[in-house]
Amino acid sequence: MLAVANFGSDAKFRRWSILEIISVLPSHFALQSGNSGYPGFIVEAARSAAEDWESQDKEATEETTKIEAAAIPTLLEIVEAELYGDTSFDIGPETNMAMVGSKVRVLDSETTNRIANNDIDKENEKNIAEIGTLVRDADVEILMRIDDLLRTHFAIFGFTGVGKSNLLSTIVAKIFASTQEPIKLVFFDLMSEYTGLLVDQLLSDEVDGRLLTIGRNTLPEGTFKYINGLRGAPKNTEATTQFLRYTLLPKALQGKRSKMERAFLDFIKSEKVRYFNESKSITVYDLFFTNEVVTWAKERQEARRQNRLGLTKEALRESRIRTDYRKVHFSPDLAKQIREKLEKLLEQQQYAEFREDGDFANHISKLEELERSTAEHLAASTTLPDIIADLNDKTRHSLWIIQSHSPDDLREFSHNLGSELYESRRLSGVIDPSVSFIFDEADEFIRSGGTGSYENSAKIAETIARRGRKFGIGLGIATQRIRYLDTNIMSQPHTYFISKLPRATDRTAVSEAFGFGDEILNQTFKFGKGQWLLVSHDATGLEAVPLPVKTEDANERVASFLDLKYGR
């Protein structure tokens, strides 16, 4: 960062505008006009420029070469009370323009630290995490307010392999380590990679870490049987081997496979690998009054709606349900009772058209299935109300990693869980603890113009992005395909981490959404893995000024956890 004297200075105070360098490039007078002009001259100019670069390596002996730095305003200034011989200074909002032509001062690490974290009071504020350091200066630590980061939504953009998943792992570890106040993080893990990337958090005593699997075929057969205590289950070691085989490990952790296997064994023994028991989560209301579980077999039947409702109500009346249908789950008996009544009613003459058209066929077969599946005892079974209760619980950190072999099921589940949580908080006015729904590969969840399950996951993401904040529910997204994202959602996050984006269309989408100039994003071309342009409206101490930061390698954290716990 640079300080330039500004016109606000007077006899008492010296004021310096603070600028941030965004690019540094060598330039040569002979090549100013680029490659247009007479080719013979250009080639000659280039040759002499190349000679100058070499011969003036240490020192510019001629005025032909310069290093050009471009800098942008931070809208802050340094105020020095120079006259009183005082060396302390304040930082405040910029009061005047920088003086064109005046010499600039390059700021040292200590001053840069104060500026980069200007608004944050590290000593007195709670819930602050140190997220990384400046790329150019490892002595400058960048602080973030955890609640603002989560509640006002964050996004991570960058090409494949730049370190998005790795950064998410680092963010989780930093958050849990930095605050005592309970934080709830929910990952929708399409690639099955977070069990490995967050294994230390899943096994931590400070965190309730769970892997939630959706659908019978998500876990390998042996693992599924083992966690549910079913007949024919293999030994825990075999269950672990199968489980590890299905988990994606980063290359850097492949060498630690045997220690990872021991960690996974501890993990499945701790009963933290769960199975989402859909049949125990479906309510009477879901089945009969929404299209979430089954749809009516015949479409184009708006006209029959009233009649169908009449039949439904009559079928349910017999079961004497006294509470709200939304709160009633199926037992084998209830499913059987309703099905039998429904079948009996369909035999009556007045419902002949329903019988002939098979209107209730889907409901009847679902009731048959529920009668069977709700009778089954699965030890690892977890229901939607269990998860909601945990997300509203104020005593501990929670981490839910949610995986499914079916991307459609995962999208649908994100919608069901999100809606249920949102409604539970809206109805009871709960705003704590902070919950973040994190979608890695976000283009698979919040695509613009998606249909079916895509439409549902996008819908819940939009609800959270627009209205979640009031109830302490935030959204975190990571993706490389920005132009596919729903723009309504894309413009909501207040914090972004941006890395290399080779496609111009993706860069344009980012610049337009956040009002950046091209030159600001250009610096990301040179970024390596784990380097990000971080910009935030409320979570950092420097509002809306992009800071190039370097974040730790999560693989190293996981590797040292494994070494420490399971020996070198």
Under 8 Å between Cβ of 76 and 93: yes
Length of the chain measured in residues: 568
Applying CB under 6 A, the span of 5-13, 351-359, 389-397, 549-557 interacting with ligand ADP comes to 549-557
276, 533, 551, 562: which one contacts ligand ADP (CB under 6 A)?
Answer: 551
First-last CA distance in the chain:
43
Q: Which of residues 96-135 bind Mg ion (CB under 5 A)?
A: none
| Structure tokens given for 146 | 């955890």
CA-to-CA dists, residue 337 to 152, 287, 307, 315, 364, angstroms = 47, 15, 21, 9, 11
343 binds, among ligand ADP, Mg ion, none (CB under 5 to 8 A by kind): none
Rounded distance between C-alpha atoms, residue 562 and residue 554, angstroms: 12
- Whole-angstrom Cα distance, residue 241 to residue 123? 46
As a whole number of angstroms, the distance between CA 48 and CA 210 comes to 64
Helices 257-269, 221-228: inter-axial angle, 10-degree rounding: 40
Query: Per CB under 6 A, does 220 bind ligand ADP?
Result: no
Q: Which of 252, 297, 388, 430 binds ligand ADP (CB under 6 A)?
A: 252
502 binds ligand ADP (CB under 6 A): no
CA distance 16 to 9: 8
Which region among 1-9, 146-154, 247-255, 359-367 touches ligand ADP (by CB under 6 A)? 247-255
540 binds, among Mg ion, ligand ADP, none (CB under 5 to 8 A by kind): none
354's tokens: 């329903």
Q: Which range binds Mg ion by CB under 5 A, 41-49, 82-90, 162-170, 496-504?
A: 162-170
Among 111, 127, 152, 165, binds Mg ion (CB under 5 A): 165
Q: Please list, in sequence order, all residues whose beta carbon lies within 8 angstroms of the beta carbon of residue 568, skipping any fewer than 6 positions away.
A: none
CB of residue 128 to ligand ADP, shortest distance in Å = 21
Partner touching 555 among ligand ADP, Mg ion, none, CB below 5 to 8 Å by kind: ligand ADP
Task: List the interface residues with ligand ADP, window 101-160 (CB under 6 A).
Answer: 158, 160
Closest residue by beta carbon to ligand ADP: 530
Rule CB under 6 A: say whether 166 interacts with ligand ADP.
Answer: yes
Who contacts 426 (Cβ-Cβ below 8 Å, separation ≥6)?
471
State the minimum distance, in angstroms, from the CB of residue 379 to ligand ADP.
Answer: 33
Contact between 164 and ligand ADP (CB under 6 A)? yes
Is 530 among the residues that bind ligand ADP (CB under 6 A)? yes
Other Cβ atoms within 10 Å of 279 Cβ, number:
21
Asked if 547 contacts 535 with a C-beta cutoff of 8 angstroms, the reply is yes
- By the criterion CB under 5 A, which residues form the site for Mg ion? 164-165
Residues that bind ligand ADP (CB under 6 A): 158, 160-166, 250-252, 529-530, 551-553, 555
